[in-house]
Amino acid sequence: MRIAIGADHRGFSIRTKVADFLKQRGHEVEDVGTFSPEAVDYPDIAAEVAGRVSRGQCDRGILVCGTGLGMCIAANKFHGVRAAPCHDDLTAELSRRHNDSNILCLSADLLGERLIDRMIELWLNTPFEGGRHARRVDKILDLERRVEEENKQ
Ligand code: RB5
């Protein structure tokens, strides 16, 4: 898979480990930074990753900030993006099975490295279940289109 990854200063050191983890498993990684521990604003990084996923340049994205929450809120502004703030195996798995999440948002402060690796592995390898869940995901896309139409008027 082609995977975009990004982190703010809080996720800076984890980002490199995540990139290595993905490359070792044969994935192509687009690393958008941040490339130094200096403070940056998470919406700028989220936009780089979510934009790539929204445009179809990358299949998936992974974002890391202090809590994973700010990244998630920003990423979900992009069309077709379903960013999920996951904090354990179950949320990582269900965000794929039920929500077809295409961006995984992680907390640098609250999750250990081994847990993060396990969650990423699960998230990458769990398929979307489709069926009734596909109907619901389609409704999310309908909502996006409706809001876009309303904003044009
Ligand atoms: C940055 O201080 C912090 O707010 C950010 O990493 C993240 O936790 C936001 O949700």
Among this protein's residues, is 65 annotated catalytic? yes
Q: Which of 91, 83, 85, 99 is nearest to 118 (CA)?
A: 91
* pLDDT for 153 beyond 90: no
Q: What is the mean pLDDT of residues 91-117?
A: 98
Q: What is the pLDDT of residues 123-152, one digit of tens each?
A: 999 999 999 999 999 999 999 999 999 999
Architecture (CATH level 2) of domain 2-152: 3-Layer(aba) Sandwich (3.40)
Whether ligand 1 lies within 6 angstroms of the CB of 74 is answered as no
Whether ligand 1 lies within 6 angstroms of the CB of 12 is answered as no
Among this protein's residues, is 98 annotated catalytic? yes
Q: What is the pLDDT of residues 54-103, one digit of tens each?
A: 999 999 999 999 999 999 999 999 999 999 999 999 999 999 999 999 99
Q: What is the pLDDT of residues 16-53, one digit of tens each?
A: 999 999 999 999 999 999 999 999 999 999 999 999 99
- Specify the 3-state DSSP secondary structure of 150: helix
List the chain domain ranges: 2-152
Separation of alpha carbons 57 and 71, rounded Å: 19
Closest residue to atom 10 of ligand 1, CA basis: 70
The residues pairing with 63 across neighbouring beta strands, listed in sequence order, are: 6, 105
- Residues whose CB is less than 8 angstroms from the CB of residue 63 and which lie 6 or more positions away in sequence, other chains included: 5, 6, 7, 11, 45, 46, 49, 71, 72, 75, 83, 103, 104, 105, 106
- CA–centroid distance, residue 65 to ligand 1 (Å): 5
> Which H helix or E strand runs over 65?
strand 60-65
Catalytic choice (27, 79, 87, 98): 98
pLDDT at 135: 98
Q: Where are the alpha helices (DSSP H) in the chain?
A: 12-24, 42-54, 69-75, 89-97, 113-125, 132-152
pTM: 0.97
Whether ligand 1 lies within 6 angstroms of the CB of 65 is answered as yes
DSSP tag of 26? T
